[in-house]
Chains A and B, each alone.
Chain A
């Protein structure tokens, strides 16, 4: 039997471990070798049991029951389960009334599926820069990008922090365009109590197993504020013969995972708070910014580097980041860049082949730009100065792991001398000068 059950527990950290030599210099890593794996997703006997029960129910009812339960949790008016997050975003746009050749404004920093879903809807993505504190779509830049052909604004709740929906809602209403959320990172994220997915005219959300709310492998769900939008999306599928249906096997895990979602949310919030407190003490690291009234879902945890806090202000921040990245990985912390290039500079949007013959970009040439990274200075600054933890806060049972991560960051922040030496030896390049990475 192949099992993901851990072969041995991760010990609680001892004080002398954090005070020890850096792993890159021969010390003991904070996460010992062989214990680095984060068990994810969490599958329990409840999931197996509901899966067994679902075999006695008509497949379409398994999917419909799941969609209804999650719709009620989110507080959206209508829901359409789909085979993937991308399909859900496509359906959200179709429901919002996006037509071929329309412009949809999206942030330059997101997962590439946000912009590809716009192309899937035969529309043209228009990219704007992000806010320097939240790393979500900048409302000012968005307003500047609105044209008479704009049909929708599509903010992304990046890493689980809701975008500035109040400002974007006001902008959308003022301009007579739709607000479509990409809530793929933002299960249970909230603004003043309202859950992501229920904030816009429509929303799409991934439910793949790498998310905070995982189904059985791959899946997604679109939400709609009105019955008219929901019907528009349903009719679109019917009219064009598209099969975006969710497998009952994916949905079968929805009920049990949904029941545990609030528990997972609390564990992630606890881990984020614990790690954030530790980072704030280091000076070198700054935890994610969360505006008052917002609940961050922490699907990912993006950490900002502050070199000047430890006397490294004379070094390029991207080089400090690369050196810190090496040190953290040596300590057993699986920190990642998670993106290194603005999305409009990725191949599909540089070449713009689309469906073939550059369709749908040919429908609206005025909306198309040959972007360079410099067009998005805030995104570049963010890419230069941040590192991300992805799955590492999600595992509900490993309190000891987040304690060790916190110690690893403390250990690294205490050694600006080593960071300086690595930078001198490193020959590091800016993030976007390397091959574009999706994650």
Chain B
């Protein structure tokens, strides 16, 4: 993205005064969620603050935790180390527990095509767009989405209601919870970059 565009987006969000992920009236995180759902054709999105946070979320979303074994083809060493730290053992092979794609300025316009994969959870690493560590997990399973959301906050529901832990769903008792929340400022920049990349050639200003 051009520096002018980044500056405009950041200044717009700053002027609104809403820069925290836990603000009720934040519009940037829901905006990026909508964009990612549209671009990937999945019905639910969990935004997080790094690729490893997304891998963690993709597992927790499927109820996979310490002591479990999964199949996953072609893991890189760094992700394998992270899964070992989570206590999840991995057998090389299919089916994939999660699919993973890395988005950058060169391929952002092909996200729809890249996202045409079959695993129950899709990890989209957005760090390559240049706004710092950022990622998302896309899934069609609303229960998986709810589990994933719960990992990244402290509490029981979503960002807007994280200040209460009143339980509504006994299957979703929170275990360890990490603050994997993405800044609305980063989300706004990512959304702008994805939107521009998705425009037909010649339409971008």
Residues of A within 8 A of B (CB): 1-4, 39-41, 43, 47-48, 51-52, 55-56, 59, 83-87, 111-113, 116, 119-120, 208-210, 214, 216-219, 239-250, 346-348, 351-357, 359, 435-439
Contacts and interface: CB of A to CB of B under 8 A. Distances in A.
B117 interface: no
A43 B174 CA distance: 34
In this complex, the interface size class of chain B, counting residues with CB under 8 Å from chain A, is: 35 or more
Contacts of A347: 156, 165, 167, 173-174
A243 B14 contact: no
Most central of B86, B134, B175 by chain A CB within 10 Å: B175
B94 interface: no
B20 A119 contact: no
A248 B165 contact: no
9 contacts: A43-B17, A48-B11, A83-B180, A242-B85, A243-B133, A249-B186, A249-B189, A354-B176, A355-B175
B52 A250 contact: no
B91 interface: no
Contacts of B156: 347
B154 A112 contact: yes
A243 B133 CA distance: 8
Nearest to A42: B17
Contact of A83 (B3, B11, B77, B133): B133
A242 B79 CA distance: 9
A246 B182 CA distance: 11
B187 to A, nearest CB: 9
Nearest to A252: B10
A110 B16 CA distance: 31
Nearest to A87: B179
Given A248-B132, A249-B185, A351 B173 contact: yes
Contact of B81 (A1, A40, A241): A241
A355 B65 contact: yes
B7 A51 contact: yes
Contacts of B155: 438
Contacts of A244: 50
Contacts of B6: 55
A373 B110 CA distance: 54
Contacts of A55: 3, 6-7
Nearest to B50: A243
B17 A116 contact: no
A56 B4 CA distance: 11
Given A218-B49, A245-B50, A353-B65, 18 more contacts: A40-B17, A43-B15, A43-B17, A83-B180, A113-B179, A217-B21, A241-B79, A242-B82, A243-B133, A249-B185, A250-B185, A347-B165, A348-B174, A353-B175, A355-B66, A356-B66, A435-B165, A437-B163
B132 A247 contact: yes
Nearest to A246: B132
Interface string B64-95: 11111000000001111110111100000000
A367 to B, nearest CB: 16
Interface in B159-205: 162-167, 173-186, 189
Nearest to B77: A241
Interface in B7-26: 7, 10-12, 14-22
A119 B176 contact: yes
B166 A435 contact: yes
Contact of B14 (A43, A84, A119): A43
A209 B19 contact: yes
Contacts of B154: 111-113, 116, 438
Interface string B139-157: 0000000000000001110
B176 A357 contact: no
Contacts of B53: 243
A116 B49 contact: no
B177 A116 contact: yes
B98 interface: no
B173 A240 contact: no
A353 B60 CA distance: 12
Contact of B16 (A3, A40, A218): A3
Contacts of A219: 183
A1 B13 CA distance: 10
B165 A354 contact: no
Contacts of B180: 83-84
B175 A348 contact: yes
Most chain-B CB neighbours within 10 Å: which of A243, A250, A352?
A243
Contacts of B182: 218
B118 interface: no
Contacts of B31: none
A354 B131 CA distance: 31
Contacts of B15: 1-4, 43
A243 B53 CA distance: 8
Contacts of A241: 52, 77-82, 85
Nearest to A52: B7
